[in-house]
Homo-oligomer: A and B are copies of this chain.
Amino acid sequence: MDRDLERILDFAIELDRLKAVTRRTKPVGLDRHENSAEHSWQICVLAQLLARHAREPVDIVRVVEMLLVHDIPEIEAGDQVIYERSPADRAVTEREAARRIFGLLPGAQASWCLARWEEFEARQSREAAYAYAMDRLMPVHQNLRNDGQSWREHKVPLEKVLTVNAAIGEVFPEVWEDVRERIVRAFGAGA
């Protein structure tokens, strides 16, 4: 078999490791934390479904491509909990991890993944902003259904939840307005 094909297939097996990287959020109805692989799938679907409701039109293909690869470096770096580490620290660790893990692929595929991962991390393009909004919206939405489970468990203060997730409002103002109110109510109710 062609050596490039072999490297891609070996990489696909490496991807199994993302199924062991757990996040703080629990899927609604399940008594376990979710992993970054299943989370990635879910926000790709959500991104597709919400596309026509975005404030500005986006290239949804690019969004999905970014979301497919955005968490892969966690295989090397672990899940970088958004409420805990400084952005600068996270950036360095994740960039090294991204180069290591995508470096397992043949050149063309490695560049393809890195370009999308970097665009997502830089959050400069409209597509990256949309992708990031999905990455924030889903766990907030799950948390609201789970009585603020991960916020309670990790004592995340209301103000931090609002700051970190305000990015949702840049892409879906109407959704953020609603979600924001529900977050405030959830904290008022002791979440």
* Residues of A that sit less than 8 Å from B by CB: 1-2, 4-5, 8-9, 11-13, 15-20, 27-30, 34-35, 37-38, 40-42, 44-46, 48-50, 52-53, 61, 64-65, 68-69, 72, 105, 108-109, 112, 138, 141-142, 145, 172, 174-175, 177-178
Can you offer 24 A-B residue contacts whose CB atoms are under 8 A?
A1-B174, A4-B53, A5-B53, A8-B46, A8-B49, A8-B50, A8-B53, A9-B141, A9-B175, A13-B142, A16-B28, A16-B30, A16-B34, A16-B42, A17-B27, A18-B38, A19-B27, A41-B44, A45-B69, A45-B72, A49-B105, A49-B112, A52-B108, A61-B61
Nearest-neighbour CB distance to chain B for A183, whole angstroms, equals 14
